[in-house]
Chains A and B, each alone.
Chain A
Amino acid sequence: MSTVRFIDEFRDRTLAARLAEGIAAAADTGRTYQLMEFCGGHTHAIFRYGVQDLLPANVKMVHGPGCPVCVLPMGRIDHALQLAREHGVILLTYGDLMRVPGPERMTLLKAKAEGADVRMVYSAMDALACARANPGREVVFFAIGFETTTPPTAIVLRQAKAEALSNFSVHCNHVLTPPAITSILASASDQESAEAPRLDGFVGPAHVSAVIGYRPFEAFVRDHGRPVVIAGFEPLDVMQAILMLVRQLNDGRCEVENEYTRVVTRDGNLKAQALMADVFELRDSFEWRGLGWLERSALQIRSPYAAFDAEKRFPLKSAAIADNKACECGAVLRGVREPVECKLFATVCTPENPIGSCMVSSEGACAAYYTFGRARPTMAPALADAS
């Protein structure tokens, strides 16, 4: 007997078809439903599995800013470049960030080719191991991510302190989900209201909610009158969440519902939260690509760990650096523009030669559109011919 099983989505496909029927039946043909998936993980799943092919025309997904690489502004990329090029450190970071263009389209990858010591890590723990292995060098971990990747960074900072590592520090770029969602709704309702899509509801984050729980979204729902359904990253999770949102909207309900009960609870992971609270505190304000400066939207390292804070340890110049003028990343991140509406999309800007951050990470909307969906309008006939 062979040990191989064919890709086992037969069952998924039946379930997906059933959910698709459910959504089509529930969706009121007299109106449209504009739903935003906040997380890049959801955006990726929607494109990779072709979820939108299963939705009726009046249910439209708008892609949100939940991609940690995409929302990092130029100024922070510039910090990473300064650390690597001017301060001679070993700079460690997660892979995608290495390809994000900074000022003058410099990237960490190019800096590395020019001789800077930039290395990719898979986990925060790798960074610590690198510091231990290179006692004679300054080692900086350039930490990025939403609440999902924050606890591991906290653990590493605590460990570094316990070991009194003298050559290790963290450049902290951890950001928070709830303020970003709030900002999107705020901007959708004011200055850009003419062009911004109406957002009727949100597919809430998966792994982020595993850490922070869904309680933080209760206040959001109350204050902003938009339903949120927390969903896992599997495509069936996304479909189920869409159905739940459509039903809420039909019923005139506005609640936080949890589709991802196998992982997410109301209060989340209290141990991880305590760990984060011990090591990090809120920044007054932090710049997001596309969303601008948002108050209390990011974390910084608390003073007992100041010795491990790269922003304190190295004199870094902070200049406001404008994005490429033609790049629409900001509008894409706010859900105001679709990637294909950007003039540079697939012409000047491609994953091999990205202009903006949204084309870099596989969780970015531009990269997802390009990689999975750019033949979309003509795709179905070709596949039908083939089978």
Chain B
Amino acid sequence: MSDERRRMAGGLDYRHGRIELWHGSGGRAMAQLIEELFETSFDNPFLARRNDQACFEVGAGRLVMTTDGFVIAPLFFPGGDIGCLAVHGTVNDIAMAGARPLYLAVAMIIEEGFPLADLKAIVASMAAAAKAAGVAIVTGDTKVVERGKGDGIFITTTGVGVVPAGVEISAERARPGDAVLLSGSIGDHGVAVLSKRESLAFETELLSDCASLHDLVARMVEAVPGIHAMRDPTRGGLAALLNEIAQQSGVGIALNEDAIPVAPAVRGACELLGLDPLYVANEGKLVAFCAAEDADRLLAVMRAHPLGRDAARIGTVVEDSRRFVQMQTGFGGHRIVDWLAGDQLPRIC
């Protein structure tokens, strides 16, 4: 249908239209938004039944469930946007349990005045990401808040998946002697987003790494069902993830900085801004902890997958009652890799 005809037929005006308060008020405007935008884009039989919930069969096995809120500025960044991020993020949280993701639910809080064209682009991006990940967005909710009471759009996604029998991946299961494997270069997402922040604007060809990792995980679990722990390094970067695992498993981790892949563009931007790539966010990487004897096999499987091409063994779990993450620096010295207090900030000295 052409824009012209759509407008004549009273359809959504994506070219000039904006979200208004009544798009969230439960009336006809909301019904129209759901029907024309969400149902068409997410297109699946659950949504088409227009219930306030989705009802589906589950097979035997254990279910995993997770939820995540997405707040990001800017909403569109090189290599992605808040829409695909909201899908990848939740799919990945499910996948990190070794599970196969099945269904997502989405809640959107949209600020009055938000351009319909942007909303359409975000929804299209979510739909594409969900389709690629083989998950259906089966139920959702939309609220509109007054202008000034939101930051454009907030998205929350909740997901469920099933874990195959025999898989028991959990953050407290890392053991001294375990190998630490990283699926690829760090910092790409954070630097891509930073490059678009007003006032920090710098030229980079870098794209966010945001991707759904469930397929990579499926191969990994198939090869080594006994993976001990797995997590994706998002906010707080690799450093936060390693500290979390050390904390929860009651172990120390010894890293080798030389083994950690970093793209030259990330390295350059970090040097310029005085940031440490270990603390920069990622959206399409994972870290796995497995028994030393499984490490080579697991690494080979990861490297054979497009999302794990640059996978590397970056360190080893050690005994340490203080639960420190320590690192042999590329420079030849050593240091702790600590949690970050507050945000990482560009240097002013």
Name A residues whose Cβ lies closer than 8 Å to a Cβ of B.
Answer: 2-10, 12-13, 16-17, 20, 39-41, 44, 47-54, 66-69, 94-96, 99, 121-123, 125-126, 129, 144-146, 148-149, 207, 235, 350-352, 362-363, 367, 370-375, 379-380, 382-383, 385-387
A residues within 8 A CB of B264?
5, 8
Contact: A68 with B258, CB < 8 Å? no
Contact B322 A6 (CB under 8 A): no
Instruction: Please measure, in the bound complex, the distance between the C-alpha atom of A12 and the C-alpha atom of B342, giving whole angstroms.
Output: 30
Interface SS of chain B? loop
Q: Is B304 positioned at the interface, with any CB of A under 8 Å from its CB?
A: no
Q: How distant is the Cα of A385 from the Cα of B3 in the complex, in angstroms?
A: 67
Known interface pairs A12-B330, A20-B332, A123-B199. Does A7 touch B257 (Cβ–Cβ under 8 Å)?
yes
Contact A49 B262 (CB under 8 A): no
A144-B348, A383-B326 known; A6+B334 contact, CB < 8 A: no
Q: A6-B312, A121-B199, A373-B335 are in contact. List 17 more A-B contacts (CB 8 A).
A: A6-B261, A6-B262, A13-B258, A40-B349, A49-B330, A49-B331, A49-B335, A50-B332, A51-B333, A68-B349, A99-B341, A122-B197, A122-B200, A362-B345, A372-B336, A383-B326, A386-B256
Stretch from B42-50, B98-106, B230-238, B313-321 at the A interface: B313-321
Q: Is the CB of A50 within 8 A of B335?
A: yes
CB neighbors of A among B297-344 (8 A): 309-310, 312, 315-316, 318, 320, 322, 324, 326-336, 338, 341-343
Of A145, A374, A387, the contact of B348 (CB 8 Å cutoff): A145
- Shortest CB-to-CB span from B94 to chain A, Å, is 27
Are B324 and A375 in contact, CB atoms less than 8 angstroms apart? yes
Residue B259 is within 8 A (CB to CB) of chain A in the complex: yes
- Assess A386 versus B318: contact at CB under 8 Å? Given A39-B349, A373-B336: yes
Contact of B336 among A94, A352, A371 (CB under 8 A): A371
Q: Which of B200, B309, B330, B345 contacts A13 (CB 8 A)?
A: B330
The chain A residue with its CB closest to the CB of B205 is: A3
Please determine whether B335 and A48 come into contact, CB atoms closer than 8 angstroms: yes
A-B CB contact pairs (8 Å), 18 listed: A7-B258, A7-B330, A9-B330, A10-B258, A13-B331, A13-B332, A20-B332, A47-B335, A49-B330, A50-B333, A53-B332, A53-B334, A69-B348, A144-B348, A351-B341, A370-B338, A375-B336, A385-B318
Residue B221 at the chain A interface, CB threshold 8 Å: no
Nearest chain A CB to B230 CB, angstrom units: 20
Contacting pair A382 B330 (CB below 8 A): no
Cβ-closest 10 pairs across A and B: A50-B333, A9-B330, A351-B341, A386-B254, A53-B333, A95-B345, A49-B331, A372-B335, A386-B316, A41-B349
Q: Which A residues touch B348, using CB under 8 A?
A: 68-69, 94, 96, 144-145, 148-149
Question: Quick check: B334 and A380 within 8 Å, CB to CB?
Answer: yes
**CB-defined interface of B249-272 with A at 8 Å, one 1/0 digit per residue?**
000101011111111100100000
When distances are taken between beta carbons in the complex, the residues of chain B under 8 Å from A17 are 332
Q: How far is the CB of B265 from chain A (nearest CB, A)?
A: 9
Q: How far is the CA of A351 from the CA of B342 in the complex (A)?
A: 9
With a CB–CB cut-off of 8 A, which chain B residues contact A129?
Answer: 198-199
**Given A4-B310, A9-B257, A372-B336, A49-B341 contact (CB < 8 Å):** no
- B346 interface residue (CB < 8 Å to A): yes
- Judge whether B5 is part of the interface by a CB distance below 8 angstroms: no
Count A-B pairs with CB separation below 8 Å.
161
B178 → A minimal CB distance (Å): 11
Smallest Cβ-Cβ distance to A207: which chain B residue: B349
- Distance in angstroms from B137 CB to nearest chain A CB is 32
Least CB separation from B345: chain A residue: A95
State the interface size on chain B (CB cutoff 8 A).
49
Return the chain A residue nearest B266 by Cβ. Answer: A4
In the complex with contacts A6-B262, A7-B267, A383-B345 CB distance below 8 A:
no
In the assembled complex, B149 has its CB within 8 A of some CB on chain A: no
Give, as a whole number of angstroms, the nearest-CB distance from A3 to chain B.
6
Known: A39-B349, A351-B341, A373-B336. A5 touches B320 (CB 8 A): no
Select from chain B the residue with minimum beta-carbon distance to A145: B348
Contact status A2-B309, CB under 8 Å: yes
Interface presence of B184 (CB below 8 A): yes
- The reply to whether A235 and B334 contact each other, CB–CB distance below 8 Å, is no
**Complex CA distance for A49 and B258, rounded to whole angstroms:** 12
Task: State A5–B320 Cα separation when bound (angstroms).
Answer: 31
Nearest chain B CB to A300 CB, angstrom units = 20
Inter-chain contact B343/A383, CB cutoff 8 Å: no
Residue of B nearest to A43 (CB): B349
Find chain B residues with CB under 8 A from A16 CB: 331-332
A149: B residues at CB distance < 8 A: 348
Beta-carbon contact of B336 and A122 below 8 Å = no
Specify which of A2, A121, A144, A387 is in contact with B310 (CB 8 Å cutoff).
A2
Most buried by A among B198, B262, B322, B333: B333
Residues of B within 8 A of A383 (CB): 254, 326-328, 334
Contact check, B254 vs A66: say whether CB atoms are below 8 A apart. Answer: no
In the assembled complex, how far is the CB of residue A15 from the closest CB belonging to chain B, in whole angstroms? 9
- Contact A122 B199, beta carbon cutoff 8 Å: yes
Check B199–A6 contact: CB distance below 8 A.
Answer: no
CA distance A137 to B81 in the complex (A): 33
Chain B nearest CB from A340 CB (Å) reads: 14
What's the Cα separation between A350 and B346 when bound, in Å? 21
A5 touches B342 (CB 8 A): no
A99 contacts across to B, CB distance below 8 A? 341-342
